[in-house]
Amino acid sequence: MYQIAVVEDDAADRERLVNLLRQQCGAAAHITAADPDFEPETCSFAPDILFLDVLLGDRSGIRIAGAANQLWPRCQVIFVTGRLEYAPDLYQARHLCLLSKARLEELLPGALQRAFAALDADDAPLLAVAQKNGEVIIPQKDILYVERRLRISYIHSVLRTVTTGRRLEELAAGLQPGRFALCHNSFLVNLAQVRRLQRSQVQLTGGILLPVSRSRFGPFREALGRHIGIDLARHGAPALTPEAPGPETD
């Protein structure tokens, strides 16, 4: 049985979401309407899925999600909000998607399917990279980005950097569809690692900054929007404010 926690400070919204979850999940999940003062560090159980309002009074749901990421790496965080202008700030915490309160009935079934699929996956997708002494196996979720430089591709992961002669397009073909995108002809990015996007650069986990070229900005933003479940072209915010035009770097 899955453990699902709902953290929402508005009583009516909390009751609505809990009722919808009970209708969708039936006996497959135990659903807890958590106290609005919920903190992962003091929670008595480890939820498999955590529904979080982006704003909880004067508290940040994004901060709480970050703490949940650290304590429960397997937990699928789903943000719920009535204010989509906060969408770009959500990159600060790892999450599955963002749901608009106005469209909960429409979007919730798909979000649950994605969360259950992620939880039920027996093995994380892997990338095999040939080396002189054999093959190096890298969990795709651990890849931060891949850089192409002087006919060599550098695969930067959480633990190490691995080199290969394979081109970015060839590597991308072996990666999870929809999880990676080019922000520049020389950089392939794991969208789950994006924390902030601007016209000329993207910030990844750990403060890594990579260039975004003019020709790649639109497609990259669309790919990122699909990954987090929101149209970023429609719901812009300061994190997506265009900067002064710079030189084309592709």
The domains found in the chain, sorted by start residue, are 2-120 (3.40.50.2300), 126-240 (2.40.50.1020)
What is the arithmetic mean of pLDDT over 192-200? Answer: 89
What is the arithmetic mean of pLDDT over 79-103? Answer: 79
pTM of the predicted protein model: 0.57
86: pLDDT confidence band, cut at 50, 70 and 90? Answer: low
Is residue 192 a contact partner of residue 224, using CB atoms and an 8 Å limit?
no
Which residue did the predictor score with more confidence, 198 or 87? 198
Token representation of residue 158: 């959480």
The predicted-structure confidence for 201-243, as pLDDT tens digits, reads as follows: 999 988 899 999 999 999 999 998 888 777 787 765 434 333 3
Residue 17 neighbours by CB under 8 Å, 6+ apart: 6, 8, 51, 80, 104
Mean pLDDT of the chain: 86
Q: Characterize 201-222 residue by residue with b for buried, 16 or more Cβ atoms within 10 angstroms of its Cβ, and e for exposed.
A: ebbbeeeeebebbeebbeebbe
